[in-house]
């Protein structure tokens, strides 16, 4: 499969930018919080443009979903026990928060030898780092509780809610993710480890059509996000919308929008004042933002294609991993009950060697399977516009280039 | 999980390489293990039975030595002399244990064909009917892997590639891989040791061969198995 990135879109967007007038983002001119002071606070503005990536120090909760907790007692079937909270009417304007899900940190060890020891296959982890956010995105969209949900090639401060995370474990039987959710104020909603253990039957073909093996994890995460949002009142929701708009503007033109933001004593962003509804600069930013969304939505299609292509292979891979684990458990149980030959005898030495040999062969077969996985997934992620490049790297680069162009457009418009 | 310290492993590897006796022609003598230097072993190799050890012959030789030692011991005993140097060598249980490790050495070196893939970063020696010996080269340092059922250490000792496995019950296996100067012969010296036996070393020699050219290039995929394409025009 060949993925096509929007090179033509860049040119189209430049033309569209000057021929359409999109509404400004700032809907209300009154200040939301803070004073009218215009004293320079460069740290807030600079932070708005380039906030460092989140650190993993504030873990507050670990959620483990075991199979036995998910059995349906009434029917005996193994359905999703964590029900996704779905809205039939959709969110209100204030509730329709835009969510950005950053590509996950794959959680690789520092060197290849350590990855081998930990049983991590780096190429597969890299693919999972892009695949799993899209699976979460689908769940959030299905919940009908939010505005646009997008997978982001890299962190973007202009989102009302930003999800970041890393893969702690993924071995077919267990999926464990550490996820942080923050809003545009930089307030941490939660920092949790979600661990889900798949049922034995989760990979059966008859079951596969009904649900994904780790769907409970996505459902739980989506519900947690919703629960947090429901604790916010309308003014807080509006404030988050406004700060996101201004932070996005500040990321494109920090010199123009520095004065609108400041950090409060808790280190959270707050508005010092808002641009006027008719502010021409804000209108320009609004137009640029719409163009940026167009770009992101196009890259989102790339993730969708990756997701569609990868799903059957990824299911197979996780199924193999699961089977290996089960087989190993059974083998170890047999080993424990087997009569031991006289220590040091040929039979004893042979048994020791064969145990080691079996373990080695298992590991090496897994490596072959991992290579088979890569052989199927690699073309999806590597071929762009007919040239062989890495999807991740390429998207990152293109995204950065796109934002650079947006800044140039803004400078041209304002004559800065 | 074995509690094998990395330091101990490194020391053992150095000691093992350092005590290696010069190899018979046409295999080049091993260099001092002071500086890592990689040799390119890549290719297909088939066992050379004419040069390789035959385990039965080697055991018979050892048995004759053991008998001679036993006779000397018996003579000394008759003369009332007591030399503890013969105590181990003439112990019948000791020879029985040596027989056990020799059988195991024969078993684990029985692969007739090897395929070796090597890059600057790693090497993999695929063996018939056995697991592949693999090693990642990390800046000249030996690679140490401690797993549930055994610990491994591998790395360069001069131009020798050494794989060492320390398994439960004191089973200790060392493969030393060396190539001849002309690059056409491969030598693998395998030493097997156990807590109840003297070490036993078996030498296997291989010669290089070129496999028949394949008209197909195949790539393994997870969902479709091997996917092959004809390379003929």
Half-sphere exposure of A25 (CA within 13 A, CB side): 26
**pLDDT at position B25:** 29
CA-atom Rg of chain A in angstroms: 25
Q: Please give the structure tokens belonging to residue B51.
A: 């040069």
Nearest to A359 among B147, B195, B219 (CB): B147
CA-atom Rg of chain B in angstroms: 21
* Smallest CA–CA distance from B103 into chain A, residue: A346
Helix, coil or strand: residue A234 = helix
pLDDT at A397 over 80: no
Q: CB–CB of B41/B116 below 8 Å?
A: yes
- Looking at per-residue pLDDT, the higher value among A29 and B40 belongs to B40
Chain A residues near residue B145 by CB distance under 8 angstroms: 113, 116-117
Q: Do A372 and B195 touch (CB under 8 A)?
A: no
Q: Please give the structure tokens belonging to residue A33.
A: 């919080």
Region class of A119: left (phi > 0), else alpha (psi between -120 and 50), else beta? left
Helix, coil or strand: residue B78 = helix
Half-sphere exposure of B165 (CA within 13 A, CB side): 26
Per-residue pLDDT of chain B (233 residues; tens, 9 = 90+): 333 333 334 343 333 333 333 322 233 333 333 334 578 999 999 999 999 999 889 888 888 888 888 888 888 877 776 666 555 455 656 778 888 999 999 999 999 999 999 988 889 999 988 999 999 887 767 778 877 778 899 988 888 999 999 998 899 999 999 999 888 999 999 999 998 888 999 999 999 998 877 777 777 776 677 777 776 55
DSSP class of residue A188 equals E
d(CA A329, CA A325): 6
Residues A28, A34, A38, A41, Cα dihedral to 10°: -120
Nearest to A344 among B131, B195, B221 (CB): B195
The predicted model scores a pTM of 0.62
pLDDT at A289 over 60: yes
Any idea which of A140-154, A289-303, B79-93 has the lowest mean pLDDT? B79-93
**pLDDT at position A3:** 33
Partner B contacted by A38 (CB < 8 A): no
Nearest to A353 among B104, B196, B221 (CB): B104
pLDDT at A312 over 50: yes
- Looking at per-residue pLDDT, the higher value among A330 and A199 belongs to A330
pLDDT digits (tens, 9 = 90+) for A113-129: 778 777 788 878 888 88
What are the distances in angstroms from CA A68 to CA A165, A198, A267, A329, A330?
Answer: 27, 10, 42, 19, 20
Q: Do B168 and A352 touch (CB under 8 A)?
A: yes
Question: What is the predicted ipTM?
Answer: 0.77
Residue A62's pLDDT band (cuts 50, 70, 90): low
Closest CA to A314 of A84, A135, A113, A117: A135
d(CA B46, CA B180): 15
CA distance B191 to chain A (A): 14
* Smallest CA–CA distance from A370 into chain B, residue: B222
pLDDT digits (tens, 9 = 90+) for A178-224: 999 999 999 999 999 998 887 655 544 544 444 567 888 999 999 99
- Looking at per-residue pLDDT, the higher value among A38 and A281 belongs to A281
End-to-end CA distance of chain B: 54
d(CA B54, CA A279): 91
Helix, coil or strand: residue A149 = strand
d(CA B38, CA B178): 11
Chain A / chain B CB contacts < 8 angstroms: 86
Residues 95-154 of A with CB under 8 A from B: 111-113, 116-117
Q: Do A113 and B143 touch (CB under 8 A)?
A: yes
Partner B contacted by A325 (CB < 8 A): no
**pLDDT at position B232:** 59
Q: What are phi and psi of B179, to 5 degrees?
A: -120, 150
To the nearest 5 percent, what fractions of chain A are helix, strand and coil?
A: 55, 15, 35
Q: Please give the structure tokens belonging to residue A198.
A: 């798949």
* Smallest CA–CA distance from A318 into chain B, residue: B222
pLDDT at A328 over 80: no
d(CA B159, CA B37): 5
Mutate to test the interface with A, among B9, B148, B149, B155 (most CBs of A within 10 A): B149
CA distance B25 to chain A (A): 31
Mutate to test the interface with B, among A312, A353, A365, A371 (most CBs of B within 10 A): A353
Residues 355-384 of A with CB under 8 A from B: 355-357, 359-361, 364, 368-369, 371-373, 375-376
Q: CB–CB of A165/A101 below 8 Å?
A: no
Nearest to B223 among A312, A348, A350 (CB): A312
Q: What percent of chain A has pLDDT over 90?
A: 24
Any idea which of A47-61, A68-82, A369-383 has the lowest mean pLDDT? A47-61
Residue A53's pLDDT band (cuts 50, 70, 90): very low
């Amino acid at each position: 499969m060949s993925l096509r990135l929007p090179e033509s879109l860049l040119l189209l967007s430049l033309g569209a930018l000057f021929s359409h007038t999109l509404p400004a983002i700032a809907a209300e001119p009154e200040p939301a919080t803070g004073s009218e002071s215009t004293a320079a606070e460069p740290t807030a503005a600079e932070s708005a443009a380039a906030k460092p990536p989140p650190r993993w120090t504030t873990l507050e909760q670990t959620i483990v979903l075991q199979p036995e907790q998910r059995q349906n007692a009434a029917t005996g079937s193994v359905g999703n026990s964590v029900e996704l909270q779905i809205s039939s009417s959709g969110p209100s304007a204030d509730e329709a928060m835009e969510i950005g899900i950053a590509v996950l940190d794959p959680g690789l060890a520092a060197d290849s030898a350590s990855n081998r020891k930990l049983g991590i296959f780096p190429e597969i982890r890299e693919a999972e780092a892009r695949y799993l956010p899209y699976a979460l995105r689908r769940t959030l969209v299905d919940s009908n509780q939010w505005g646009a949900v997008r997978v982001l090639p890299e962190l973007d401060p202009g989102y009302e809610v930003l999800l970041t995370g890393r893969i702690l474990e993924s071995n077919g039987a267990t999926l464990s993710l550490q996820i942080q959710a923050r809003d545009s104020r930089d307030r941490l909603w939660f920092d949790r480890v979600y661990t889900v253990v798949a049922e034995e039957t989760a990979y059966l073909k008859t079951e596969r059509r009904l649900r994904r093996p780790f769907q409970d994890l996505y459902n739980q995460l989506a519900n947690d996000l919703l629960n947090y949002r429901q604790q916010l009142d309308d003014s807080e929701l509006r404030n988050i919308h406004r700060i996101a708009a201004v932070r996005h503007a500040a990321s494109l033109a920090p010199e123009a929008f520095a004065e609108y933001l400041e950090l409060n004593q808790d280190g959270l962003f707050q508005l010092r004042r808002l641009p006027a509804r008719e502010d021409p600069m804000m209108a320009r930013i609004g137009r640029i933002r719409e163009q940026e969304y167009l770009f992101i939505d196009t890259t989102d299609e790339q993730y969708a294609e990756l997701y569609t292509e990868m799903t059957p292979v990824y299911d197979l891979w996780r199924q193999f991993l699961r089977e290996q684990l089960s087989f190993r458990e059974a083998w170890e149980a047999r080993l424990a009950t087997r009569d031991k030959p006289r220590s040091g005898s040929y039979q004893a030495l042979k048994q020791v060697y064969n145990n080691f040999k079996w373990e080695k062969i298992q590991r090496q077969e897994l490596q072959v399977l991992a290579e088979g996985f890569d052989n199927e997934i690699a073309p999806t992620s590597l071929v762009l516009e007919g040239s062989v490049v890495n999807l991740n790297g390429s998207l990152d680069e293109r995204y950065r280039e796109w934002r650079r162009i947006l800044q140039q457009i803004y400078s041209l418009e304002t004559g800065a | 999980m074995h509690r094998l310290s990395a330091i101990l492993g490194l020391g053992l590897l150095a000691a093992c390489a350092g005590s290696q006796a010069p190899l018979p022609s046409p295999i080049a003598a091993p260099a001092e293990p002071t500086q890592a230097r990689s040799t390119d072993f890549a290719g297909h190799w088939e066992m050379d039975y004419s040069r390789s050890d035959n385990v039965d012959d080697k055991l018979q030789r050892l048995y004759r030595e053991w008998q001679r030692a036993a006779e000397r011991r018996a003579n000394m005993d008759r003369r009332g002399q007591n030399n503890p140097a013969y105590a181990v060598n003439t112990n019948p249980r000791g020879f029985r244990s040596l027989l056990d490790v020799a059988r195991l050495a024969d078993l684990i070196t029985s692969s007739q064909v090897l395929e070796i893939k090597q890059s600057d970063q790693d090497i993999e020696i695929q063996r018939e009917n056995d697991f592949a010996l693999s090693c990642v080269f990390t800046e000249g340092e030996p690679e140490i892997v401690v797993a549930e059922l055994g610990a491994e250490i591998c790395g360069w000792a001069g131009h020798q590639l050494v794989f060492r496995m320390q398994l439960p019950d004191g089973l200790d296996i060392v493969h030393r891989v060396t190539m001849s100067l002309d690059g056409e012969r491969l030598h693998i010296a395998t030493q097997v040791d156990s807590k109840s036996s003297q070490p036993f070393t078996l030498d296997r020699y291989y010669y290089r061969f070129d496999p028949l050219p394949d008209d197909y290039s195949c790539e393994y995929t997870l969902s479709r198995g091997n996917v092959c394409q004809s390379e003929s025009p």
